[in-house]
Structure formats: C-alpha cells, structure tokens
Structure 1
C-alpha cells in the first residue's frame, strides 16, 4: 500500500508521533502521583497537593490535546488514500479485458471497492498507529516498572511469552475466518444486485421465494462466519485480559507485603500500580488491533487480487502531439492502404484468426479457427451462422474486447494489435445485440459513442437510428433513462444503442443483430436509415433474419468456428444448403448439409 500512503506519509508520521507522546504522557502521571504521595500527602502540605493536582490536570489536558491533534491530522489524508485506491481500482477495471469481467461476479468487485477499502482506511487510521503507540508504551512502561521495583516488574512480565504464543495461534485462524467472511459478503452482494437488476424476471416467473431461500442460505453462511470470528476474538481477548490481571493481582499482594515490611514506600507502590493500570489498555487492546489488522490484510489481498490482474500486454502508447487522424484513410471510395499496401490490404481483413477462451478446458477445440475474411472498403458484409457458431465472439475480436489467440486482424493494412486502444475504438464502433444503457440522460448515453460530439451529432444519430421518440420523453433528450434503461421498451433501447454506435461516424462499424428487438414497422424505418449509414462505412453485421442480410453486399457463413462460404445472398441461397436452411428456418436442411 506504500504507493498510496507515500503522499501523506509526513502527516501520518506526525500523527503517530503525537499519539506516542500522548500515550507516554499517561506514564508520566504515575510519577507525579508518586511525588504527591511521598511528598505533600505524607508531609501534610495542602499547597503541595494543590500543585500536584494542577500538574495532573496539565498532563491530562496535554494527553487529550495530543490525541485530538492526531485525529485531526489523519482524517483528511486517509480519506484521500481511500479515494485514490478506489479511483485506481475503478480505472484498472476499465482497462481489464472482457474475459476478466466474464469470470468475476460483479458483487465481488463491488465489495472490494467499498467494504474492503473502508477496512483499509480504518486500519490506517487506528490499528496501524496504535500498534506502534501501544508497543512503544508497553516497552516504556515496563522499563519504568523495572526501574521502580524490578521484582514486581518481573511478575508483570511473566505473561508476555504466553500472550505472544496465543496471539500467533489465534492470528492464523482469525485470518482464514476473515477471508471467508469477506468472500461470502461478496457473494451476498452479487445475489442482491442480480435480484434487483432481474426483478422483472423474478416477479414474472414468481421466483421470489426461491431468491429469498438463496439469499437466506448465503446470509446464513455470512452469519456463521461472523459468529466464528466473534468466538475467536472473544476467546483471545479473554485470555489477553485474564493473564495480565492475574499478574497484576500477584504484584499487588507482594507490593502490599513489602510496604508493610517497610521495604517499599507507599508512593512507589501507588506509582507502580498506576503505571501497571495505565498499561492495561495498551496490552488488552492488542488482541482487538491484531483482529482488525488481520481483516485489513485479507482486504488488501482481495484489493490487490484485482489490481494484479494485468491488462493485455503490448498496448502502444499514443505519441504526444500526434494528429488524431494520423494514418486515417481518406474515405469511402478512395481509402488509403498502409504504406506498401494496396487493394488487398485495404478494408477489414482477418487472416488465420483463432480464438480460445482462457479458461477453456485443456484439449477443447477453439471457438474460432483459421478464420479468413476480407471486407473491402465501403462494403457491408453480413455474418450468419447457427447459434454457438462464434459470430458474437468474432465481432468482439475486432475492437479487441477479446484478444485473438492466433492470426491477425488488420484495418486498412494496420494490425489492430499495433494500434493504441484509444485509436482503435475511434475507428471501430460497435452496437451489441443486448443494448446496455446507463443511469444517465438519453443525450449522455448516445454521445458516449464519440468523444467531443455535440448537439448536431446527437440529432443526426437519433435520426439515423429512428430514435426520434426521445424528443417526446418528459424532458426530451435530457430525460434520465434509469438503471439499464429499463424505463424504455426493448426497441427503444436498441435504437438508442444504434444511435450511440453511429454518432461518431466511424470508419468501421460492427453491428450484432441490430434489429432483433424492433417491430416490423420500426424495422423498416431503421433499415432505410441504416442503408444510408452503411453506404459511408465498412461494416460487419451479424444477421439472423433475411431482412438484415439484404442490407449487406456480401454474406459470410460461419460454421463450427470457420468461414465456410462467402458470396451474395442469392448465390449462397441457391448454392449452399446450410445457408438456405438458416434463411428458411428449416432445421432438417441444416442437418442434411454435407460434412
């Protein structure tokens, strides 16, 4: 955590120093008591007693002021540390590949960004400082005790070895329980989030009781783990309290005997016992501090589990001052290829592309294998295939949402692996089959598709996507669409997602079944608008219905992870049995295709 703590290290060090001074001040008070008892009290000097009382008041006030200053010094910088760590985590999550997010439940990530970081802030504010403060106080206190009466001091030191062994014994068990509790809390967060986002499904199928049972099971697991933690903590704290108390009782008995025999002054015994009592909290709180420290350590492990997940290597960095459009092709009809290239390299090309999911079982065939495809500049190609053939996976490789396992993909001759992601996302725009909207206004959701776009681009994109319904919403394009855009119909969400894809007038457009949620009338309007968009861009369109296929110049048939045929719709319809079966919806025709 040092990179996050380093900017505020001076304030934390100053706060720790003040806390140490404040704690040591509490050890000076018994020395003042010894002077009072052996001096003014024994001599019957009222003025000396008043002076001693004033000294104790000053010492107590100084101790309180130092602890107040410690809190004032740490509040702001520790809030900054927590904010920096949360920002770092969020920024890193944006850079991690889609494959990472496919594996990690959102509730686990949410708990790391909230609960775990709160624990780390608490650790920096309290246990970190007081582990140091209490250690210094205990060492200084025992030095004072041994100086005052070494025989009594040794009695109080007797529990140290058993206490250290007990702390080590309980520490490992508490760490495991703390990690289990935090992981189960993440699972609990996931089920709550899924239930809220899927409330329509839960209610529509009457599955609320099943969800309640699943929640109760997870909540019961969290409860059991927390009870286990409480049991461990209670046992440790009881032992940490009882052993020093027994030693203190033995020292008190021996001290009283020595005072009665005249071997020890009453003031020395009072000072000794006051010092021992001042050490009670530093000693007894060590169990509590170690428990929080262990929870914070597991929270740090969980936080850095995410931060240690590296984004794809080899991302080039944009050269400062480079023109944003450097290397960009001239346009639709006269697109420039990369230096040394020609018509064969222009457009979108996939060469021997293979893809296998990172967590796929060993020996499992790749999802895509040996895919070769060339979409010429200005051409629209439809990608068709049965469910599970790899269409959506292939479209995710072009904007590098997934990384190809083998082969390469080029845009106008430039390998996408050599393009900065920021530049790649400017060239390629995507509209997914499942339109995702954010808790923001219509305008903000659409303009997310192009940095720097304004009102003219918004109006054009809404017109292209036949999303003029946005102007009829209560606040027009400033209307909040709600979480996941659930205040809109499926067709409305899909049209806004399409508007977001075209708002930046991208050079390359990837559409994953963009018309799936539209009614027949709206589909016809969007198709007419799409024809205008597709006439000015190079596009790959995943299609499931003939009306979408007819938007394309050519069609590629994807079968079992390979492109098995490329041609016009009519060529494939009459010359490829599998394609004809897909377009007619006849499953038997698909089964009878040649192998």
Structure 2
C-alpha cells in the first residue's frame, strides 16, 4: 500500500470518475445479491403455490436485475477507460521529461532496456491495476461483506458454516503476498535485462553480423528468456496454489452448508426457498472470493511496477537553474579571465571507487577570446571528460570553469548551452530529417539559410543528393549514412547556432584526407570568430588551432604552438608521430 499510495497525485485529477465507477460497480454487485432474494420469494411463493403468473413475474424480475447488473458494469468500464488512459500517458510523459533532466552520470549507470521497460510494460501494468484490481478489491470486499450479512440474516447457523474457511484463507493470502512480491520484482527486472539485450542487438546488428556473432547473441538471449521463463513459471505455481486454496476451501464450506441445509429442510426446520436463496448467495460470492488471489497478484505486480517507476523518478535531476559556485563568484570585468578558463579543475566520476585517483587533477587552462585551443593527450588521459565539463554534462568535483569571467555554475543550463555548442567524436543522429537534426544546435529555429551555411562549413553537400535533400529522414542513429557523413552533420549541428564557444571532440576523425582538408578550410573561417576547445589526435586537426595543450596524467603539462611543442616536449612529439598506435 505504501508503494501504491504514491500513485495518488496522478489519480487525483480523475478521482471523481474513479470513485463514481467504484460506486457503480458496488451497486452492480449488490444488484446481483438481490437475485437470490427474488429466488427465495419465487420458490416459497409462486412455485410452492403453483402460480404460473407469479413465476413469470419472478422471471421478469430476474431478467431486469440481470440487465441492470450488466449495464452498470458496462457503465463502470466506460467511466474508467478514458481517464486511466490519460493517467498512463501523463506518467509516461513525466518519466520521459524526467529522463531528459537526469545527469549523464545517471544514464551511464542505467541500462537503456531497464528504463524502456519502466516506461512501457510497468506503466501498462499500473493502468490495468487502476482499471480492474483496484476497483474490484473494493467491490469484492463490499460484496463479500454484504453477502455474508444476507446469509447470516437468512440463517445464522449455515452462515457460520460458510465462514469456517475465512481464517485459513487469510493465512494463505499473507504467505502468498510475501513470496509473490519477490517473484514479481525479479520478473520485471529480468524483462528489463531482456529488453536491453534486444535493443543492443538491433542497434549493433552490423557488429553482430560482421563478426558472425549471431549464434552467441542468440545463446545469450535464450539464457535470459530461460531465466525469465523460470521466474514466470514460479509465479504461476504460486498463483495456482492460492487459486486452489481459494476455490477448494469455500467449496467444502458450501458442500457442508448444502448437506446441513437439506437435512433441515427435510426436518421442516428450514424452508426450501431459504435454502435456495442461501446457496444462491453463497454461489454469487464464489467469484469475489476466488478472484482474491488473482487480484492480489495483479496488485503486487502493480506495487513492484510503482517501485520501479519511482526509482527513476526519485533520482535527483540536474538543477534547471544556477548553483552557488564554490568559493563564490568571479569578477567578469578582468580581461585576463575572458574566454574559456579552467581554474584548478578536479573531477572524479560519482561512481568511482573511494580513494581512486581523480580523472582530472587541478587542471589550469586558459583559452583566450577568439582563440582555438587544441587538446592533445594519450588514450585515457581525460580529454573527453574535460570537454564534457564545459556544457556541464558532469559537474566539477573541485575548482571552477568560467566563460568570460562568469562561473558556469552561476548560469542556468539553458543559458550555458546556448552559448556553448558541442560536437562529439561519436555523432548521434535522431530518427528525423537532416534539417531537423542540424537545427537541434539552434533550438530548432534556425532559418534555412543558416542550415545551408552550417552544411557548407561541414562540407555536408552530400545531403542535396539525398532523395528529399535536407528533408530526408536519416533513420535511427543515422545508420543509413556513413560515419564521415554522420560526423559532418554533427559538426553542422554544432556551428549552426553561431555559438560563442565551441567544444569539439575530435570532430574530423572519420573523414578522408580530401574531405578533412575541405572541412578544415571552412572551419577556419568559423573558428576565427569563436573561442574553441578542440580535442585532436592528428597533426592536421592540431594545425586548426592557435595553440595546443597537452593533457597527461589528468593534468595540463604543456601549452604552446604545435611547432614549439614538437621541438621542446618529447611526449607531444611522440603522440604526433605515432598517432595510429598511441594517439587514439
């Protein structure tokens, strides 16, 4: 109940219709309990008195009660369908919006399949729970209570016989709930793992086929499905056990009541109509009692789905506004602080083992206004991490980063990411048109002329040869394009908004020599008016920059021009001469 009560904020806007639907369902169930009373009147009256007109009247009453019960249950379904679809849609939208605000460190830890299963299967379970088990746990509870009262009023001796299995049933429910809770959570987590494997296999189909790994992938998939199958079968065994108990114990009680009632009718202590009404009421309670196990199972699955949903929703998002910089703000009026500057920046990943050395250790670096700075270092030296700190994909552990003298933590993320554009070595494109992918770099409102300018800078003229030009859908992850084409579109996306600061993570690594030379020529014109930090591995990319910074062991060990560092720094010379072996 603690888990399920967290759904109340989503249910509250539609509570009137849900409460009305529950009330209608209770009335429908109570109408069903009137039928045994009509049967009692029919047996003891018109049937005993051989009155055909009374029998037909009784039949009419039964028909009208049956129709009323059916219409009321239909009305309940109509009342809940639309609002609960809205609740599911609202929860899914909130989850998606929250995922966009969660820090990159969260997404580094979570498998995409686990998030996907929470946004699809778990929310479907919650909608089903709100539509059916939630209502019918209440309805069946009221029905059982009213039915028991009716039976006790008719004959308290037979009523006590019927109530005999109540305690064993409660014990079975308590034991079942504890075991089923664990099994339901385990199954839902395994569905998330399975979804991850499917997603990775689809996105990585070129690798799977290219290396002939389809059999090993199939074996891994079969192993996960076998594990999930075992969990589902365990759940089925638990459910079968409780169903058997919930059906057998009431059956025994009804049988005992039938024998005792028949003896009393024979002795003249009980009317036949009363026995018929009593047994009809007991049989009418069969479904409410039998369904308890099923409803408990659905409710438990809904509770675990709610826990899984709020595990994500409870994760702390990035603050949408500013944060107080450590040590206070900085004076933005000093010329020496203009441009992009790292002041003693230290960074350690949030999930790094305690005591492990930081990825970046007291980095000091100044990229002057309008200057292009190339960042060079061996694999694992922290280049990509350093560039990710500028748009605040990660927060610095210590120190600060300033743009034109202003601490980036004193800016809202929206403002910061308007001033800073990024292009990563592994370009990510979306299932949208070429133009829409490029416009993402300018809040989606770049004019066609700006898009064309950005495509020209990135030497992405190939888009005009596509079937619909810039309106061509590039497909999921842009896999219909070559690596170089995707990289050029990512570069166009970075420059389309004419940002004040550019952060480029080896943006030309997938280009051939001739295309790279053309892109560099166009990019030089853009860099002339922009402050840029460029991760570089090749001398041709380094030559785009005014100066070069060497990152080694998490620290900046040298800064100078390309030719100065070639002459004076052995590690830099080694990186530039052995780029294929050591630079990547």
Cα separation, 1, equivalents of 2:421 and 2:385: 15
Q: 1:491 aligns to what?
A: 484
Residue by residue, what CA displacement relative to the aligned partner does 1:362-420 show, whole Å, maximum 9, x if unpaired?
11101011011111110110000000000000000110111111111111121111211
**Residue 310 (structure 2) pairs with residue 304 (structure 1):** yes
Q: 2:97 aligns to what?
A: 91
**Counterparts in 2 of 1:258-269, with a 5 A limit?**
258-269=264-275
Q: 1:47 aligns to what?
A: 53
Shift in CA distance, 587/26, structure 1 to aligned 2, threshold 3 Å: closer
**Residue 16 (structure 2) pairs with residue 24 (structure 1):** no
Q: 2:563 aligns to what?
A: 570
Determine which of 338, 347, 360 is the counterpart of 2:352: 360
Q: 2:422 aligns to what?
A: 430
Following TM superposition, by how much is the alpha carbon of 1:315 offset from its aligned partner in structure 2, in angstroms?
A: 2.9
Determine which of 415, 439, 443 is the counterpart of 1:447: 439
Residue by residue, what CA displacement relative to the aligned partner does 1:418-470 show, whole Å, maximum 9, x if unpaired?
21111111011000000111111111111111112121111111011100110
Cα separation, 1, equivalents of 2:510 and 2:579: 22
Q: 2:573 aligns to what?
A: 580
**Residue 365 (structure 2) pairs with residue 373 (structure 1):** yes
Q: 1:183 aligns to what?
A: 189
Determine which of 391, 400, 403 is the counterpart of 2:395: 403
8 Å CA contact retained: 1:349, 1:409:
yes
Residue by residue, what CA displacement relative to the aligned partner does 1:550-572 show, whole Å, maximum 9, x if unpaired?
11111111011111111111111
**TM-score, normalization: structure 2?**
0.96
Following TM superposition, by how much is the alpha carbon of 1:586 offset from its aligned partner in structure 2, in angstroms?
A: 7.9
**Residue 200 (structure 2) pairs with residue 203 (structure 1):** no
Q: 2:3 aligns to what?
A: none
Q: 2:457 aligns to what?
A: 464
Following TM superposition, by how much is the alpha carbon of 1:316 offset from its aligned partner in structure 2, in angstroms?
A: 3.3
Residue by residue, what CA displacement relative to the aligned partner does 1:263-296 show, whole Å, maximum 9, x if unpaired?
1111110100000000000000000000001111
Following TM superposition, by how much is the alpha carbon of 1:313 offset from its aligned partner in structure 2, in angstroms?
A: 4.4
Cα separation, 2, equivalents of 1:219 and 1:241: 32
Q: 1:165 aligns to what?
A: 171
Secondary structure in 2 aligned to 1:449? Answer: helix
Secondary structure in 2 aligned to 1:541? Answer: strand
Determine which of 404, 421, 424 is the counterpart of 2:413: 421
The ranges of structure 1 where at least 4 consecutive aligned residues each deviate by more than 2 angstroms after the TM superposition are: 312-317, 337-340, 586-590
**Residue 244 (structure 2) pairs with residue 274 (structure 1):** no
Secondary structure in 2 aligned to 1:121? Answer: helix
8 Å CA contact retained: 2:538, 2:579:
no
Secondary structure in 1 aligned to 2:196? Answer: helix
Cα separation, 2, equivalents of 1:365 and 1:72: 61
Cα separation, 2, equivalents of 1:269 and 1:360: 73
8 Å CA contact retained: 1:338, 1:412:
no
Q: 1:593 aligns to what?
A: none
Q: 2:380 aligns to what?
A: 388
Q: 2:40 aligns to what?
A: 34
**Counterparts in 2 of 1:474-513, with a 5 A limit?**
474-513=467-506
Shift in CA distance, 425/164, structure 1 to aligned 2, threshold 3 Å: same
**Residue 60 (structure 2) pairs with residue 79 (structure 1):** no
Residue by residue, what CA displacement relative to the aligned partner does 1:186-245 show, whole Å, maximum 9, x if unpaired?
111111111111111111111111001000100100111111110110011001100000
8 Å CA contact retained: 2:346, 2:397:
yes
Question: Which 5+ residue runs of structure 1 have no aligned equivalent?
Answer: 318-336, 591-595
Cα separation, 2, equivalents of 1:266 and 1:492: 87
Determine which of 147, 150, 153 is the counterpart of 2:153: 147
Following TM superposition, by how much is the alpha carbon of 1:349 offset from its aligned partner in structure 2, in angstroms?
A: 1.0
Shift in CA distance, 340/379, structure 1 to aligned 2, threshold 3 Å: closer
Secondary structure in 2 aligned to 1:404? Answer: coil
Determine which of 103, 126, 129 is the counterpart of 2:135: 129
**TM-score, normalization: structure 1?**
0.94
Following TM superposition, by how much is the alpha carbon of 1:540 offset from its aligned partner in structure 2, in angstroms?
A: 0.2
Q: 1:107 aligns to what?
A: 113
Secondary structure in 2 aligned to 1:344? Answer: helix
Q: 1:333 aligns to what?
A: none
Cα separation, 2, equivalents of 1:562 and 1:461: 34
8 Å CA contact retained: 1:18, 1:69:
yes
**Residue 229 (structure 2) pairs with residue 223 (structure 1):** yes
Q: 2:333 aligns to what?
A: 341
Cα separation, 1, equivalents of 2:507 and 2:191: 38
Residue by residue, what CA displacement relative to the aligned partner does 1:345-366 show, whole Å, maximum 9, x if unpaired?
2111111111111111111101
Shift in CA distance, 555/260, structure 1 to aligned 2, threshold 3 Å: same
8 Å CA contact retained: 1:577, 1:589:
no
Q: 1:328 aligns to what?
A: none
Determine which of 514, 517, 524 is the counterpart of 1:521: 514
Q: 1:331 aligns to what?
A: none
Residue by residue, what CA displacement relative to the aligned partner does 1:23-70 show, whole Å, maximum 9, x if unpaired?
111111111111111111111111111111111111111111100000
Following TM superposition, by how much is the alpha carbon of 1:312 offset from its aligned partner in structure 2, in angstroms?
A: 3.1
8 Å CA contact retained: 1:546, 1:583:
yes
- Count matched residues: 571
